[in-house]
Structure 1
Amino acid sequence: MRAAADLVVTGAQLLTPAPSTDTALAVAGGRIVALGTDEEVLALAGPGTERIESEGAALLPGFHDAHVHAQAGGLALGGCDLEPEHSIDGYARLVREFAARSDDEWIVGSGWFGDAFPGGLPTRAHLDAIVADRPAVLTSHDAHGVWVNSAALERAGITRASTDPANGRIVRDADGEPTGVLFDAAGELVTRLVPAPGPAERRTALLAAQRHLFSLGVTAWHDAILGAYLSLPDCLPTYLETLADGSLTARVTGSMWWPPQAGPEHVPAMLEHLRATSEAGFPVRSVKIMQDGICENCTAALLEPYTGVHPTTRGDSVIAPDDLVEIVTALDAAGIGVHFHGVGDRAVRECLDAVEAARRRGGPAPTGPERPRHQIAHLDVVDPADVPRFAALDVTANIQPLWARDDQEILERKFPLIGDERAAWHFPFGALQRAGARLAMGSDWPVTSPDPLWALHTACTRTAPAADVHARNPESHRPAQPEQRLDLSTAVRAATLGAAEASGNETTIGSLEPGKLADLVLLDGPLTGPADLDRVRVRRTVLGGRTVHVSDAP
């Protein structure tokens, strides 16, 4: 006789992620053992079975964030976190309050948006007026810019005579003086001086991130950078520690950071690093390669020049295309996937070209769960000619849906640089889906909120969630490129099974099927269409059949 179920959930709207006619689910030994009608599943219950009545609310696989920086998100929660505000006065209040309660040598924080400032960027004068007695360094919400005060510039020796580093820019005023904003690699001129958080602080941050993600229904994630980047310390030691002692219970995968300055000769060292990391308890089967920057500061790599700036400015390829082909071909042959950062249409094409060359040299792509999983994240601008290549090459489109709306920063800072023709192909999720591309959904937290319901809302409506403080302009609540909207079923799949496929663990998580791990999220209402996504919230999060979060909302 079969043992009684440990948990039964009844009266639910099951999204498996596809809509199901079943209304109930049973769990035993941490795994799903049955789906069916309420009567069929209740027959599996016993005296000790936990019973949850859903009252018609949606029950889904646990959400899976396909591109996140969890330790960084946790550090942001515990540092000078500017995320809750979107104004000069709001930022000033948060920095002032943090400085008053901190006796650290440096003021360190993150989360500012450029459009909150006249001209689209802050200055050191703004920060000097708040804190002048010690250096301050605040990373932008997109992690591609650093806002510093005069004390920090002085510590780093940055003056009007300083030259821009490779893949970076010191923003200057009309007289050539540094303004206090440093883009990409230029930020490291300061961030390398900031005392790194110690092991205990990094551990606290990662576990705080886990609690926060559980509260949003996220039970699995893929950390997009295992390594040090700008002001972000290497998170790998913390993962190894928390996985070893069992305090990290979420399903986690990650991509090892490829140093931007490294060439093909670095492949053997990378493969050895991956081997040692796997033996240490964190199997890693992919590498993160950043191929360009972002459009907002003209570091994204475009096929045609930016508009409104120097007529030859096209952005930089971080890795020379020929070297990229060699690197990707060698990694692919070793069974290692590549998680590309590709924002501009030229960077996206270079990434696709590298995968195509690797497939051509190595023969047909292997099939099954062991095949290398190549994916390109962000995809702000994709040339229409390259859209079909995602499906043809089996490259996953790793999308960040919360960005796909007309925020003030996008309208005032980004679109004038890329022009109307490219703006029409801004985050072409719908076109990719119609062309048969695999989709995986990630947040890039702490760049933007890790709330998957917010991401689903924007993916399906191309508008901002009503509660998002970073979308107060009226345009953000009108559909942006409406032809690029996703239907609800497609979007839910991208946030669950699609992300699990991209991470290579779809055989154990990502869908509600007997035999899979019982990672579940129960909402507080049904999902009948995109309009519901701005109303429902997470009621309960279950990991391996065990509740890890229950909402305290009435």
Structure 2
Amino acid sequence: MSGAHPDLIVVNAQVHTDGPGITSVAVTDGRISALSREPLPAGPRTEVVDAGGATLLPGFTDAHVHPLAAGAQLLTCDLARLPHSPDRYRETIRAYAEAHPDQEWISGNGWYGDTFPGGLPDRRFLDEIVPDRPAVFFSHDGHGVWVNSRALERAGIDDRTPDPANGRINRDADGVATGVLVERAGDLVSDLLPPLTEAFLERAFLAAQRHLHAVGVTGWQDACLGPLFGMPDPLPLYRRLAADGRLTARVVGALWWEAGDGLAQLDSIEERRATSTIGRFRATTVKVMQDGVCENCTGAMLAPYSGGGHHGTASGLSFIDPAELAGICRELDGRGFQIHLHAVGDRAVRECLDALEAAHREGDLRHQIAHLDVVDPADVPRFAELGVIANIQALWARRDKEIVERKLPLLGPEREPMHFPFGALHRAGARLAMGSDWPVTDPNPLWAIHTAATRLGVPEDPHSVGEGVFTEPLEARQAIDFRVALDAYTAGSAYANHAEHELGSIKPGHKADLALLDRPILDGGAGATAARTVLTLVDGRPVHDAR
């Protein structure tokens, strides 16, 4: 430490760092200036924070999140925080519609399929609540849109409307459209929603940023800089907030690759990158979506879904032809972009690995594949061999009702052992990064770390529902050690953002992006999920303070 007194010292802390027994951390000019096993000396203007034995962590980096959509969910008709109850959905939607009589469309987010008999909602449910206006609700995972009859009429969708490319209009046994639109079929309605004002978008984003800081997140990778979840492209908003200082997190943006536009979009993506390094923000990654999700049988599988799949998608959908995907990856890699691939099914994972292997891989671009619901055992060692980051969303890896009743029957017993194979990937030497995919699931890193280490649900999470969710691990062999999971959400995600030299660990010289909890958690006990973040620092300055 230099001769100057530190600006801040945290004492009596359980510090998560390489040195054993560290209890005190000093911050000077926004960086960690000293670590000690004893209280460090303070100057007359030094702020001293007594942790009282609680844990001090590196600030979490969420490796895969959608803050604008999440913030909009917080400000509109939010079903995501409700119990899985049709009555509660009905009450909440009705109250929202009555409170907003002047809105042309009633919209919201966050529904779960297992709330409804048969696993999916129906337009008639919404028709009863909102009969006079179009209504549209995005599912919690963003892969389904639930609409009423008025919305179908506005979009010109009837029972004879053909499915669009990479999408599906769900129909009942009589061929009648049910009001659930899967994948890109949702665009037929969401594209008609009135544009959101800049003022609303700013409020939504800043609400999401506050929430992320409140759970200890100091940085993230925005997994889609493009239209998503009915939201406009957030890139102009990031540029504005980064320029005026209101972006208090460190963000890497993943520019959206439009599957139907091919290589013609490369020049536009290059231009977007070139004009988007501002303050704490840079857009140096490209997001490529290769398949959908298993629950609606659009996740791309090597073998058919059990029961043959649904509506002609027996083995799911590859949104981009594998040969074309390899060409895309070669071009992006050659231009120095990190590639952030969405792959849920084992076939999509293999297609992504094949494409990255075929790319001319110069430099240290740190390509990654996110989600990895199912990975074929033959492909597990390829992550380490190819240097591909496994970007995992661990809160999903539990026996909740939706997984047990909707997903596992589609996978079948032969694929279940490789469901979210975090343990296998770690044992094979894969580098792990962790993210929430919020608003798909809650952004609390401590919840995800608990589930990664136990393969059980979180008592505080309203979506941990179902028999055995707290007692019966989902493929216990695929659990990872608590400390491994913690490092994935800190050092691993910082590495994915090319920032491990100054973020993701508590070391002298690193930026003082820190999260102080209200209790010790490093023993990995069950009480960690109830811990609260009481102080979050970015550059040594509070961005969340609940002391």
Measured against the shorter chain, the TM-score band is: over 0.9
Query: How much does 1:510 deviate?
Result: 1.0
Contact 2:14 2:23 (8 Å CA) reproduced: yes
Distance in 2 (alpha carbons) for counterparts of 1:252 and 1:286: 11
Aligned to 2:379: 386
Aligned to 1:80: 77
Distance in 2 (alpha carbons) for counterparts of 1:505 and 1:280: 15
Q: Deviations over 1:58-97 (max 9, x none)?
A: 1000111110000111100001100121211111111111
Residue 58 of structure 2 is aligned to residue 61 of structure 1: yes
| Selected match of 1:436 from 402, 417, 429 | 429
User: Match for 1:187: what amino acid?
Assistant: G
Aligned to 1:484: 478
Q: Deviations over 1:80-116 (max 9, x none)?
A: 1001212111111111111111121111110000001
Superposed counterparts of 1:69-468, under 5 Å: 69-85=66-82, 86-102=84-100, 103-278=102-277, 282-309=281-308, 313-358=314-359, 361-362=360-361, 365-366=362-363, 371-468=364-461
Aligned Cα root-mean-square deviation (Å): 1.5
User: Match for 1:377: what amino acid?
Assistant: A
Distance in 2 (alpha carbons) for counterparts of 1:491 and 1:60: 13
Distance in 2 (alpha carbons) for counterparts of 1:424 and 1:286: 32
Identify if the C-alpha distance between structure 1 residues 224 and 546 changes in structure 2 by more than 3 Å, giving closer, same or farther. same
| Selected match of 1:543 from 515, 538, 543 | 538
Contact 1:192 1:230 (8 Å CA) reproduced: no
Distance in 1 (alpha carbons) for counterparts of 2:65 and 2:256: 13
Distance in 1 (alpha carbons) for counterparts of 2:220 and 2:139: 23
Aligned residue for 2:80, secondary structure, equals coil
Distance in 2 (alpha carbons) for counterparts of 1:550 and 1:273: 35
- State, as a whole percentage, how many aligned pairs show the same letter: 54
Aligned to 1:23: 23
Aligned residue for 1:139, secondary structure, equals strand
* TM-score normalised per structure 1: 0.95
Contact 2:167 2:182 (8 Å CA) reproduced: yes
Distance in 2 (alpha carbons) for counterparts of 1:380 and 1:474: 21
Query: How much does 1:280 deviate?
Result: 10
Q: Which moved more, 1:522-531 or 1:243-252?
A: 522-531
Contact 1:13 1:20 (8 Å CA) reproduced: no
Query: How much does 1:191 deviate?
Result: 0.3
Distance in 2 (alpha carbons) for counterparts of 1:265 and 1:139: 30
Q: Which runs of 5+ in 1 are unaligned?
A: none
| Selected match of 2:492 from 477, 498, 501 | 498
Distance in 2 (alpha carbons) for counterparts of 1:273 and 1:212: 28
Distance in 2 (alpha carbons) for counterparts of 1:207 and 1:349: 37
Distance in 1 (alpha carbons) for counterparts of 2:205 and 2:229: 18
Identify if the C-alpha distance between structure 1 residues 280 and 58 changes in structure 2 by more than 3 Å, giving closer, same or farther. closer
Identify if the C-alpha distance between structure 1 residues 289 and 550 changes in structure 2 by more than 3 Å, giving closer, same or farther. same
Q: Deviations over 1:29-64 (max 9, x none)?
A: 11110011224x2x2x10111001111111000111
Contact 2:79 2:111 (8 Å CA) reproduced: yes
User: Match for 1:511: what amino acid?
Assistant: S
Aligned residue for 2:92, secondary structure, equals helix
Distance in 2 (alpha carbons) for counterparts of 1:269 and 1:195: 26
Distance in 2 (alpha carbons) for counterparts of 1:220 and 1:267: 27
Query: How much does 1:229 deviate?
Result: 2.2
Q: Which moved more, 1:124-133 or 1:228-237?
A: 228-237
Query: How much does 1:249 deviate?
Result: 1.0
Distance in 2 (alpha carbons) for counterparts of 1:318 and 1:180: 23
Contact 1:221 1:251 (8 Å CA) reproduced: yes
Q: How many residues align?
A: 540
Distance in 2 (alpha carbons) for counterparts of 1:157 and 1:174: 21
Identify if the C-alpha distance between structure 1 residues 230 and 62 changes in structure 2 by more than 3 Å, giving closer, same or farther. closer
* TM-score normalised per structure 2: 0.96
Query: How much does 1:269 deviate?
Result: 3.2
User: Match for 1:514: what amino acid?
Assistant: P
Distance in 2 (alpha carbons) for counterparts of 1:435 and 1:194: 46
Identify if the C-alpha distance between structure 1 residues 384 and 19 changes in structure 2 by more than 3 Å, giving closer, same or farther. farther
Aligned residue for 2:519, secondary structure, equals coil
Q: Deviations over 1:454-505 (max 9, x none)?
A: 1111111111110111122122112111111111110111111100111112
Contact 2:166 2:183 (8 Å CA) reproduced: yes
Query: How much does 1:281 deviate?
Result: 8.5
Query: How much does 1:262 deviate?
Result: 2.2
Q: Which runs of 5+ in 2 are unaligned?
A: none
Contact 2:242 2:279 (8 Å CA) reproduced: no
Distance in 2 (alpha carbons) for counterparts of 1:54 and 1:278: 36
Q: Deviations over 1:318-339 (max 9, x none)?
A: 1111111111011111111100
Identify if the C-alpha distance between structure 1 residues 145 and 19 changes in structure 2 by more than 3 Å, giving closer, same or farther. farther
Distance in 2 (alpha carbons) for counterparts of 1:71 and 1:312: 31
